[in-house]
Amino acid sequence: HADTAMYRAKRNGRNRYQFYNHQLDREQLERVELENALFHALKHQEFELYYQPQVDITTGLIDGAEALIRWNRPGHGMVSPGCFIPLAEECGLIGEIGDWVLEQACAQMHSWKAKGLHLRVSVNLSALQLETPEFCHHLADCLSRYDLESDQLELELTESILMKQVDQTIQLLEHLDQMGVHLSIDDFGTGYSSLSYLKRFPLDKLKIDQSFVREISVDQDDAIICRTIISMAETLNLKVTAEGVEYPDQLALLAEFGCHQYQGYLFSKPVPADELARLALENHNEPNQTYDI
């Protein structure tokens, strides 16, 4: 590669062309390195699930947790999913990573249950996972191996997943719903799902995207959007979770609008499993202690 680039650059007498090619080579190299590192990570158990509490707004009690993957990459510290999930989707590793996440989340619920902690866990899904024909089977198998009720598990889907192949997706979601698994739409409001379709999917919950929550107390439009999503959800009989709640005034407005549940740094950032268990046990003894509506 480098030789060809050099040759072309000499022939054209243009240094910028040569630079451009080297730049491309380096990006490709980094990508291949990252892909290899991801393969390695799966084999050597470098992934970990963190959990962020989901808090009932009325009671102040933790009533669930979202599982969020982290990659403890040697020499790089904790890498956030935004940096590797898109690549895993492109290079076909997301299937295996997704299976690992489901397995790990179920194992965790099982071990919490043994300690008397009954928490519903939400797991994020990629489009490709839903498209694998064995998905439902794998899921059912996981739940039964860890002796879990299927309604302890929630799956988070994005609007783009739902709108991809609507008819097939409805069939699949109906199957999951019949199994008893809870279904939610993540990042709601950022995609292009049509309201008429929303009614056709057997959903349990909408998660208001954090971009609408961020300025809810200063931006009138964002406040209106949140209020509208919440009242629409009410009509459709769906629960609503607000994402990215960082300040008490955001929470106060969401409570006023009738939002059911929230997640965010105000209560806790995502934490390792043991820390989540500690938070949940503590919070059950002293609900509503961290804020004041």
Which spans of this chain sit near ligand C2E (rule: CB under 6 A)? Answer: 52, 68-69, 80-82, 85, 101, 124-126, 156, 186-187, 210, 243-246, 263-265, 270
Residue least distant from ligand C2E (Cβ): 264
**Which CB sits closer to Mg ion, 18 or 186?**
186
Is the CB of residue 32 less than 8 Å from the CB of residue 25?
no
**Which CB sits closer to ligand C2E, 55 or 85?**
85
Is the CB of residue 24 less than 8 Å from the CB of residue 45?
no
Shortest distance in whole angstroms from residue 117 CB to ligand C2E:
21
What are the structure tokens assigned to 36, written together? 């290899």
Hey, which residues between 191 and 220 contact Mg ion (CB under 5 A)?
Answer: 204
Q: Which residues pair with 205 in a beta bridge?
A: 184, 239
Is the CB of residue 55 less than 8 Å from the CB of residue 63?
yes
Stretch that binds Mg ion, among 41-49, 238-246, 249-257, 269-277 (CB under 5 A): 238-246
Q: Which of 99, 154, 156, 159 binds Mg ion (CB under 5 A)?
A: 156
**Which CB sits closer to Mg ion, 177 or 234?**
177
Would you count residue 222 as binding Mg ion (CB under 5 A)? no
d(Cα 168, Cα 174) in Å, to the nearest integer?
10
Q: What is the DSSP string of 96-128?
A: HHHHHHHHHHHHHHHHHHHTT---EEEEE--HH
d(Cα 203, Cα 40) in Å, to the nearest integer?
36
Residue 82 interacting entry, from ligand C2E, Mg ion, none, C-beta within 5 to 8 Å by type: ligand C2E
d(Cα 159, Cα 169) in Å, to the nearest integer?
11
Would you count residue 187 as binding Mg ion (CB under 5 A)? yes
d(Cα 128, Cα 160) in Å, to the nearest integer?
12
Residue 264 interacting entry, from Mg ion, ligand C2E, none, C-beta within 5 to 8 Å by type: ligand C2E
Residues lying near Mg ion in the complex (CB under 5 A): 124, 156, 177, 186-187, 204, 243
